[in-house]
Amino acid sequence: MSSVPLATVLREWGRIGCVGFGGPPAHIALLRKLCVDDRGWLAAQEFEDAIAACNLLPGPASTQLAIFTAWRVRGRAGALVGGAAFILPGLIAILALAALFLRGDPPWWVTAAGAGAGAAVAAVAVQAGTSLVPAAWQRAASRVRWSAYLVLGAAGAALLGPWLVLLLIACGFAELLFQRVPAERRPAGAVPVLAAVGVGGGVLLPLIWTAVKVGALSYGGGFVIIPLMQADAVDRHGWMTAAEFLNAVALGQITPGPVVHTVAVVGYAAAGLGGGLLAAVVAFGPSFAFILFGAHRFDRLRANRRVRAFLDGAAPAAIGAILGSAVPLALALEVPWQFAVLAGAVVLAMALRRGPVLTLLSAAAAGVVIVLAGGPLPH
C-alpha cells in the first residue's frame, strides 16, 4: 500500500469532487487518470478489479471507488479524508441550491427553471437505465430470468414505492435458488454484504430510515433510489411536493458528485439544514463502512459465488427499477408544457445522446423561456 501524504489526498480527491459532473462514468475516468495514468499509484488491472468489487456492493459505486482508491494510497485515514473530499463539494452545492429552491417564496425564474429541469428528469432516468443494459445483458447467467427480473424491477418502481427494496432483495434470493450455489464458510471477522435496520417515529427517525435505504439498500446506480425517496418524501411523510422532489432529483444531477446527494435535499425539506446533513451522513455511512472494514477482502468478495449469484438477480431488477422510476417521475408533472419539455429531453438524451447535465440545464432554460412567454407555473 502506498503512503501518499494526506494533504495530497485532500487536494486531489477534492478536485475530483469539484469537477466530477456527469455521474459515475466521469468519476471513474477522473479517478483512473489520477491513480493509474498520472500518478501510477494503482496498476490498471487492480483499478479494474476495484471497479468490479464496488459494483458488487449496494450503494453508490463511484463513491465507493473514490473511497477505496484513497484507502489504497493512504489507508483508513486516506479513505476518510479522500471520501469526504470527494463528497463535500457536491453536498455543499446541493444544500445551497436546496435553500434557494425550497424557500417559501422563490423568485419566479427559480420556480420556472426547476419546473423545466424537473420535467426532464424522467428522460435522464431512462437514459441512465438503458446505458446499463448492454453490459449487464452480456454477463447474464440466464437471459430469460434476467429479463423477468428487469420487468419485475420496472413494475415495482412504478407501483410499489417504498416496498421496492424488498422486491430487489427477493430477486437476488430467487437467483440464488435458481443457481443452487452451495453455502460457503465465511471467515471469522468478515463483514456481511447487506445489513439493514428499521426505525420509526417523529421526523428524524423516518428520515434516518429513508437515508439508510438510500445508502445501504440500493443496487445498480443512483437512480434506483428515486422511487424509494419519492414514496417516503412525497407520499408517506409529505416533506415535499412532487414538483419539489423533481427539483431535488434534477439538483442531484447538475451538481458534482453522486445522485445520492439528492437525499440531502429530502433531508433539508424534512428538517432544515441539520436534516440535510444528517441524511447525507447516514446515506454515505455504509459506503465508508464497506471500504474501511471490507476493502482488504475485496478479492474474496469478487470470488464469492453466492454474492455474485445474488447480484445476478438483484442487479437486473435494479436496472428495471431505474427504468420504471420514469413513470412516477413523469406522473408528477403538473402543467402541459412540462410534457413538451420532457419530449424534447427524450430526444436530447436518447436520440442525440447528450449527457444529463446538458439535458437538464437545457430543460431549465426552456422552462424559464416558456414562463417568460406566458406559460403557467406549477403549483
- Whether 318 and 220 have beta carbons less than 8 Å apart is answered as yes
Q: pLDDT (tens digit, 9 = 90+) per residue, 26-69?
A: 788 889 999 999 999 998 888 878 887 787 777 888 899 999 99
Domain with 43, as residue range(s), is 6-85
Which of 85, 115, 135 corresponds to the end of one domain? 85
The pLDDT of residue 150? 93
**Residues 6+ positions from 76 with CB-CB distance below 8 Å:** 292
Residue 92 lies in a domain: no
- Whether 67 and 83 have beta carbons less than 8 Å apart is answered as yes
The pLDDT of residue 9? 97
Q: Rounded distance, CA 361 to CA 371, Å?
A: 16
The pLDDT of residue 231? 86
User: Residue 195 — pLDDT band, cuts 50, 70, 90?
Assistant: very low
Percent of the chain, pLDDT > 70?
A: 91
The pLDDT of residue 194? 36
Question: Which of 229, 225, 231, 245 is closest to 334 using CA atoms?
Answer: 245
Residue 97 lies in a domain: no
User: Are 126 and 214 in a shared domain?
Assistant: yes
User: Are 59 and 135 in a shared domain?
Assistant: no
User: Are 307 and 210 in a shared domain?
Assistant: yes
pLDDT beyond 60 at 185: no
Model confidence, pTM:
0.78
In total, how many domains does the chain have? Answer: 2
User: What average pLDDT score do residues 13-21 get?
Assistant: 90
Cα of first residue to Cα of last residue in the chain, in angstroms, is: 55
Residue 12 lies in a domain: yes
Question: Which of 223, 198, 191, 215 is closest to 285 using CA atoms?
Answer: 215
The pLDDT of residue 218? 66
The pLDDT of residue 105? 78
The pLDDT of residue 264? 94
Q: Rounded distance, CA 320 to CA 322, Å?
A: 5
Helices 164-179 & 305-324 angle (0-180, nearest 10): 140
User: Are 74 and 137 in a shared domain?
Assistant: no
User: Are 119 and 36 in a shared domain?
Assistant: no
Mean pLDDT value across the chain? 85
Residue 365 lies in a domain: yes
User: Are 141 and 290 in a shared domain?
Assistant: yes
The pLDDT of residue 180? 81
User: Are 57 and 178 in a shared domain?
Assistant: no
